[in-house]
Amino acid sequence: MSEVLLERPSPGVALIRLNRPEARNALSQSVREQLAAHFTVLSNAADVRCIVLTGGEEVFAAGADIRDMAERGAVEMLLRNTHRLWAAIAQCPKPVVAAVNGYALGGGCELAMHADIIVAGEGASFGQPEVRVGIMPGAGGTQRLTRAVGKFQAMHMLLTGLPVKAADALRMGLASEVVADDEVQARALALAELIASMPPLAVMQIKEVLLAGQDASLEAAMMLERKSFQLLFDSADQKEGMQAFLEKRKPVYVGA
């Protein structure tokens, strides 16, 4: 069976499931290639409005595959061009909800941080233990983590390699919600279904502007926001959404 499964649990929603339990869903080059391929296809699929990313009910992902890296040299790592595979996830225009049960460590934590919403189970834990195996994060652990939780929490996690429990992750801003372990998948799917029922152009503009604006000046980011706001007034879904409100009926969005 494939190490990365793609399912379509409900209309508008795609579910990507890591399926390498014997290696705690460690992200080998092959797994990353499969992830990138799925994200590339789903990014362009008009009938997909939200993506749930999960490792299943036991473990999210225990990081990059250490067996796959232990004997590699710098040039070999460079030639893998792994950043292009991560970019397929980072540049996905559709919202991504991570459903995290169990460990999200190293590259697994970085993978979760590529999502837009993180639903964590009470027993989940997040960590960047790379320092303990002689390296450092290479897919956003020093950058996305710091943007999410700030310098002092990020340094604490990165320099010690100590994981944080779900409740602390929530408090720090590294999770959106914490629910009972056996409710994680259902909750992530429910959120994805709700997002999939929203007007897709507005949803994609919100994601794009929020992410681009984080690294721009406030003035530039406000201009981006304004332009996207104005752009949406040319969409059929804006007319439908406002008309439906005025007519006290449920809107029907078409993504145009």
Catalytic residue (one of 107, 127, 140, 241): 107
Catalytic residue (one of 99, 121, 130, 141): 130
Nearer to ligand CO8, 126 or 253 (CB): 126
Q: Judged by CB under 6 A, which of 130, 149, 174, 179 binds ligand CO8?
A: 130
Binding of residue 55 to ligand CO8 (CB under 6 A) = no
Gap between the terminal Cα atoms of the chain:
38
Binding of residue 105 to ligand CO8 (CB under 6 A) = yes
Catalytic site includes residue 138: no
Catalytic residue (one of 26, 64, 99, 139): 64
Nearer to ligand CO8, 3 or 110 (CB): 110
Interhelix angle 218-231/200-214, nearest 10 degrees: 170
- Residue ranges in 69-98 that form contacts with ligand CO8 under rule CB under 6 A: 82
The contact pattern for ligand CO8, residues 109-128, with x = CB under 6 A and - = no contact, is -x------------------
Stretch that binds ligand CO8, among 39-47, 56-64, 114-122, 224-232 (CB under 6 A): 56-64
Binding of residue 148 to ligand CO8 (CB under 6 A) = no
Backbone phi and psi for residue 103, each to the nearest 5 degrees, phi listed first: -75, 135
Backbone phi and psi for residue 78, each to the nearest 5 degrees, phi listed first: -60, -45
Q: Judged by CB under 6 A, which of 41, 45, 66, 194 binds ligand CO8?
A: 66
Distance in Å, CB of 140 to ligand CO8, minimum: 8
> Cα separation of 83 and 63, whole Å?
15
Contacts 24+ apart (CB under 8 A), 20-25: 21/56, 21/58, 21/59, 23/62, 23/65, 23/67, 24/59, 24/61, 24/62, 24/103, 25/55, 25/56, 25/59, 25/60, 25/61, 25/62, 25/108
> Cα separation of 5 and 25, whole Å?
12
Catalytic site includes residue 76: no
Contact of 26 with 59, CB cutoff 8 Å: no
Q: Judged by CB under 6 A, which of 5, 133, 155, 204 binds ligand CO8?
A: 133
Query: What contacts 183, CB < 8 A, 6 or more positions away?
Result: 121
Question: How far, in Å, are 66, 138, 169 from residue 27 at the CA level?
Answer: 9, 13, 22
Contact of 11 with 197, CB cutoff 8 Å: no
Catalytic site includes residue 130: yes
Backbone phi and psi for residue 47, each to the nearest 5 degrees, phi listed first: -90, 5
Catalytic site includes residue 110: yes
Distance in Å, CB of 126 to ligand CO8, minimum: 12
Q: Judged by CB under 6 A, which of 14, 18, 26, 112 binds ligand CO8?
A: 26
Contact residues: ligand CO8, CB under 6 A: 23-24, 26, 62-67, 82, 103, 105-107, 110, 129-130, 133, 137-139
Catalytic residue set:
64, 107, 110, 130
